Chains A and B, each alone.
Chain A
Amino acid sequence: MGFFLRKRVVSSAIPLVFVVLGVFCLARLTGNPVDLYLPLSATAQQRAEFSAAHGFDDSIAVQLWDYLAGAAHLDFGTSLRTGESAGSMVLQAFPVTLQLAGVTMLLAILGALVVGSLAAYRPNSLVDRIAGLLSMTAASIPDFWFAIMGVLVFGVGLDLLPTSGTLGGPEIWVLPIATLLIRPFGVLVQVVRGSMVGALSAPYVKVARSKGADAKRVVFGHALRNSATPVLTVAGDLTVGLVNGAVVVETIFGWPGIGKLMIDSILQRDFAVLQAAVLLTAVTIFALNILVDVCHALIDPRVRQAVPA
């Protein structure tokens, strides 16, 4: 277990480093923020002062060092837009997205386990075909269009749900979560079904059946745990992909989350906020990958007993 985890931590940390460095460099390529934040009439001296105040006149290496050193004590500099601390802006936005993503993945995994297992229990039955068609469609609908259709039908047409904003009761969650949910749900149903069909035709399931175990015990006690590994891997990848969805959903529904913050920062060349947001996202994804690996090891003894090759 220890060896397995050490290996995974190291191999997951490499992408983390690349992402942090890559975003720093790319952000520098988006153009000079001095042009955007000072009026056209600004004198050369004003421009130089602005550059010096925000450190834009240092060499790239010095800027990178400042950034890394600051990040080490959670100081990400100040936002050019608002003058607030970038760290606190990001930390304010982050829980919103985390809540959205967490609830979505929980619902998607639970729903997919139920629907996928039902479909796999009798391959090619009516239930299986309906689930197949539904999941394929769900995985292929563009999320922004689904969100707009939700607004059109439930917000404008039936006037049941609010169309944007975060003020109000639990009904404000319905459309954003439904929008985020469709793709992970559709994909996971297909994965659960595929892997359950395999598990249910394995010899140990025959043994369990011949010993008189009922359907519930066969499915949940025997087959599900063995088919959980691919489901877990895909669920991890889909959670990373939820950031894509969060950008779209937060833009459409006006949620002050990290996706909207990142888009706004890019469009307004707010380096400090963008870097802090990306760093936090990258660290979260890193932690998520480790969490998925720990779950793998907990579910499957073969994984945790893997010996150094």
Chain B
Amino acid sequence: MTDLASRPTDAVTPSRTRPPRWWLLLGRDRGAAVAAVVLALVFLVAVFGRLFIGDRAVRQDLGASLRPPSLDQGFYGLLGTDVLGRSVLARLVDAAGTTLSVAVPAVLCSLLIGSALGMWAGYHGGVRENVAMRVADVILSFPSLLIAVVVLYVFAPSALNIVLILAVARIPVYLRTARAESAELRSRLFVDAARTFGTPSRHIIVRHILPIALPTLLTVATLDFCFVMLTESSLSFLGIGIQPPDVSWGLMVAQGRQYLQTAWWIAVLPGVAIVLTTVSATVLAAWVRLATDPAQRWRLTLPRKRRGDRAAVPPEMIA
């Protein structure tokens, strides 16, 4: 008995249980690799950027007002200055931190709450499923920006309130996806088997349903990251999001709008930052969809031409 227990298991374990080598898979898809690098850069800048720029994002220098981007003004003059002579580059770095500190917690909150509720509702069915879906309908049937405007006007537009309102507004997206997956899985044989053995339902959800629903949910979250970022920047642009002296990319566009004719760089550059980040997230979402699906992953190991169809993102995730 003892030698059976101590036998090295890796000899018998088939190689398919080895986790897929993500880096290699990512390297195979040039577009996704570029997108991942861009996103990683944005995240690094957002997390560590403020340590390097110090007070440059708020330091005013009226003598250097509205300088165009140039190579002669040192590092902080690379992207020009705004009307108060503040470095646009430093402000972009500062704003990256603010923007992501709103978008990431909002996406995580709605992902956790929406998925948990959705899987629970889908697994149990009946009244619980109906109530959860009606709640999702109520939230989704109303323009998110308008609700945000009303709520942020009632409660002060602090970063925390923006996170909360965005999280609530996006819960239905995960709720619907998780419910659909879970409702389909609950009648599968392995779930029936677990139930016959008396496994409590929360264990079934965590051990048997979550691992299968997770890739889809992560794809939705990656796509949703774009949506949340865009909504935050719209709110800031309209003046009910991030408030000065804090700065976000959307707010920078709003502040640069009145100098459009004389100093285009103030409004254009933050927009470019938003577009780069959101497009990268969208491209990466398509890759995540392929790479996390064991039935589709092999496509990524083929040269692009022979790969056949690019994985389509299900329509209910996009809107």
A residues near B (Cβ < 8 Å) are: 11-12, 14-16, 18-19, 23, 26-27, 29-30, 123-124, 128, 132, 136-137, 139-145, 148-149, 151-152, 156, 187, 190-191, 193-195, 197-198, 230-231, 233-234, 237-238, 240-241, 243-244, 247-248, 251, 262-263, 266-267, 278, 281-282, 285-286, 289
Given contacts A124-B305, A241-B319, contact A26 B143 (CB under 8 A): no
**What is the minimal beta-carbon distance from B35 to any residue of chain A, in angstroms?**
10
**A142 near B318 (CB under 8 angstroms)?**
no
**A193 near B312 (CB under 8 angstroms)?**
yes
> Is residue B196 contacting chain A, with contact meaning CB distance below 8 A?
no
Given contacts A145-B253, A198-B312, contact A281 B143 (CB under 8 A): yes
Given contacts A11-B134, A148-B257, A195-B315, contact A30 B154 (CB under 8 A): yes
Chain B residues positioned under 8 Å from A142 (CB to CB): 230, 233-234, 237, 250, 253, 271, 274-275, 278
Chain A residues positioned under 8 Å from B149 (CB to CB): 247, 262-263, 266
**B141 near A191 (CB under 8 angstroms)?**
no
**What is the minimal beta-carbon distance from B142 to any residue of chain A, in angstroms?**
5
* Segment at the interface with A among B39-47, B204-212, B261-269: B261-269
Of A194, A278, A285, A286, most buried by chain B (CB within 10 Å of CB) is: A194
> Is residue B226 contacting chain A, with contact meaning CB distance below 8 A?
yes
**B279 near A244 (CB under 8 angstroms)?**
no
Q: Chain B contact residues: over half helix, strand or loop, or mixed?
A: helix
> Is residue B12 contacting chain A, with contact meaning CB distance below 8 A?
no
**A11 near B275 (CB under 8 angstroms)?**
no
Contact of A148 among B143, B144, B253, B304 (CB under 8 A): B253
B131-159 vs A, Cβ < 8 Å mask (1 yes, 0 no):
00010011011111110011101100000
Chain B residues positioned under 8 Å from A140 (CB to CB): 226, 230, 275, 278-279, 281-282
**What is the minimal beta-carbon distance from A20 to any residue of chain B, in angstroms?**
11
**B282 near A267 (CB under 8 angstroms)?**
no
**A26 near B141 (CB under 8 angstroms)?**
no
**What is the minimal beta-carbon distance from A184 to any residue of chain B, in angstroms?**
9
**A247 near B145 (CB under 8 angstroms)?**
yes
**B319 near A14 (CB under 8 angstroms)?**
no
Separation of A149 and B138 alpha carbons in the complex (Å): 35
**What is the minimal beta-carbon distance from B30 to any residue of chain A, in angstroms?**
12
Contact of B143 among A12, A27, A151, A244 (CB under 8 A): A244
Chain B residues positioned under 8 Å from A141 (CB to CB): 275, 278
Separation of A286 and B141 alpha carbons in the complex (Å): 8
For residues 245 through 292 of chain B, which have their beta carbon under 8 Å from a beta carbon of chain A?
A: 250, 253-254, 257, 260-261, 264, 267-268, 270-271, 274-275, 278-279, 281-283, 286
**What is the minimal beta-carbon distance from A145 to any residue of chain B, in angstroms?**
4
Of B234, B250, B315, B318, most buried by chain A (CB within 10 Å of CB) is: B315
A-B contact pairs, 28 of them (CB 8 A): A15-B134, A15-B137, A19-B141, A26-B150, A30-B153, A123-B310, A124-B304, A137-B279, A140-B230, A143-B230, A144-B234, A145-B253, A145-B270, A145-B271, A148-B253, A187-B319, A190-B313, A194-B313, A198-B312, A230-B315, A237-B140, A244-B146, A248-B238, A266-B149, A281-B143, A281-B146, A285-B141, A286-B141
B288-319 vs A, Cβ < 8 Å mask (1 yes, 0 no):
00000000000000001101111011111011
Chain A residues positioned under 8 Å from B237 (CB to CB): 142, 144, 248
**A23 near B238 (CB under 8 angstroms)?**
no
**B145 near A243 (CB under 8 angstroms)?**
yes
- Closest residue of chain A to B305 (Cβ to Cβ) is A124
**A238 near B138 (CB under 8 angstroms)?**
no
Contacts A26-B150, A190-B312, A193-B312 given; 11 further ones with Cβ under 8 A?
A136-B283, A142-B233, A143-B234, A144-B250, A152-B267, A156-B261, A187-B319, A233-B316, A243-B143, A244-B145, A247-B145
**B142 near A285 (CB under 8 angstroms)?**
yes
**A263 near B238 (CB under 8 angstroms)?**
yes
Separation of A296 and B231 alpha carbons in the complex (Å): 30
Of B146, B253, B257, B304, most buried by chain A (CB within 10 Å of CB) is: B146
**B268 near A18 (CB under 8 angstroms)?**
no
Chain A residues positioned under 8 Å from B271 (CB to CB): 142, 145, 148-149
Chain A residues positioned under 8 Å from B151 (CB to CB): 26
**A233 near B315 (CB under 8 angstroms)?**
yes
Given contacts A123-B308, A234-B319, contact A240 B143 (CB under 8 A): yes
Separation of A244 and B310 alpha carbons in the complex (Å): 31
